[in-house]
């Protein structure tokens, strides 16, 4: 059965993604944790497979428009896929329903959300200044750094489901300053498909995916993305990005506060229990 509350959340997130191009994992995972009380591990695993489905649609659109650089996608994937597999292998040794996994996921998630919010606010100015100063980059070093960026994204996304959007785009702009923005966005979305799919399958194998929630989210998000894309040129993008950044700051602060509070309680309990 489709849950209308999850579908409504998916529609609102899809609307923002369609308008701004970012905000999928950065909003959906916190919504599942804070509003619906889903365990962080289940929220991350569920959001990863949800993102794989939505990113596939975006990749098809960019592929038809020929706005994907498959060489860049291959470089990113050569770093992210092994990093994802290693991260999932390490996570499998945790009890994902335990406090240790909860603490790790909420800590990495809050860091990733703060980073995404900073990128939304200051990314444009940083990119403009960088592009004005940089003329040429060493091709071999650029290729190596792209693999490293892919590895970093693999770790972030596997633990928190956040990072493949705004952070990935800004990193690619720094590495390929003269590449058209449309190709950078298309390449980032295309790379997110195998990344989120592999990470999501890994979480599913560890039992941290709720298919019922995924179906409900997709039922709302797909129309939301379509409608948001239609209104993308009718609403000031900068205003939406600032609002989204403020929202992410607030959400990240709340998650970080909950993490600090839980850690303090566990530490206090442990000290009392140990004679």
The predicted model gives 194-213 an average pLDDT of: 91
- Identify whether the C-beta of residue 210 lies closer than 8 Å to the C-beta of residue 38: yes
The predicted model gives 27-39 an average pLDDT of: 85
Which of 13-27, 68-82, 176-190 comes out lowest in average pLDDT? 13-27
The predicted model gives 87-100 an average pLDDT of: 81
The per-residue pLDDT for 266 is 43
Residue 263 DSSP symbol: H
pLDDT in tens, 38-76: 888 898 999 899 888 888 877 887 788 788 899 999 999
Name the nearest CA neighbour of 90 among 78, 75, 108, 69: 108
Mean pLDDT estimate for the chain: 80
User: What is the spatial distance between Cα 165 and Cα 188, in angstroms, rounded to a whole number?
Assistant: 7
User: What is the spatial distance between Cα 134 and Cα 260, in angstroms, rounded to a whole number?
Assistant: 41
Using the Cα atoms of residue 255, residue 220, residue 195 and residue 175 in order, give the sign of their dihedral.
negative
Is pTM, for the whole model, over 0.85?
Answer: no
The per-residue pLDDT for 91 is 87
The predicted model gives 246-250 an average pLDDT of: 73
Residue 232 DSSP symbol: T
User: What is the spatial distance between Cα 184 and Cα 170, in angstroms, rounded to a whole number?
Assistant: 9
Which distant-in-sequence residues (6+ apart) come within 8 Å of 152 by Cβ? 79, 83, 163
């Amino acid at each position: 059965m489709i849950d209308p509350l999850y579908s409504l959340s998916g529609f609102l997130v899809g609307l923002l993604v369609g308008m701004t191009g970012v905000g999928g994992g950065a909003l959906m995972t916190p919504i599942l944790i804070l509003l619906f009380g889903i365990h962080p591990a289940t929220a991350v695993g569920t959001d990863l497979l949800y993102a794989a489905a939505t990113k596939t649609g975006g990749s098809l659109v960019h592929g038809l428009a020929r706005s994907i650089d498959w060489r860049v996608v291959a470089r990113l994937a050569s770093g992210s896929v092994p990093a994802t597999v290693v991260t999932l292998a390490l996570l499998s040794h945790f009890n994902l329903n335990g406090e240790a996994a909860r603490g790790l996921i909420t800590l990495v998630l809050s860091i990733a959300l703060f980073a995404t919010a900073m990128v939304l606010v200051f990314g444009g100015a940083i990119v403009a200044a960088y592009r004005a100063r940089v003329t040429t980059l060493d091709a071999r070093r650029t290729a190596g750094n792209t693999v490293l960026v892919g590895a970093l994204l693999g770790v972030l996304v596997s633990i928190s489901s956040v990072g493949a959007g705004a952070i990935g785009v800004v990193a690619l702009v720094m590495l390929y300053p003269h590449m058209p923005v449309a190709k950078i966005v298309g390449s980032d979305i295309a790379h997110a498909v195998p990344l989120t799919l592999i990470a999501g399958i890994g979480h599913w194998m560890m039992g941290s995916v709720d298919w019922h929630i995924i179906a409900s989210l997709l039922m709302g998000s797909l129309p939301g993305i379509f409608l948001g894309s239609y209104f993308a040129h009718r609403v000031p993008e900068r205003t939406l990005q600032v609002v989204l950044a403020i929202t992410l700051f607030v959400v990240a602060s709340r998650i970080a506060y909950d993490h600090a509070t839980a850690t303090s309680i566990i530490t206090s309990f442990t000290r009392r229990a140990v004679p």
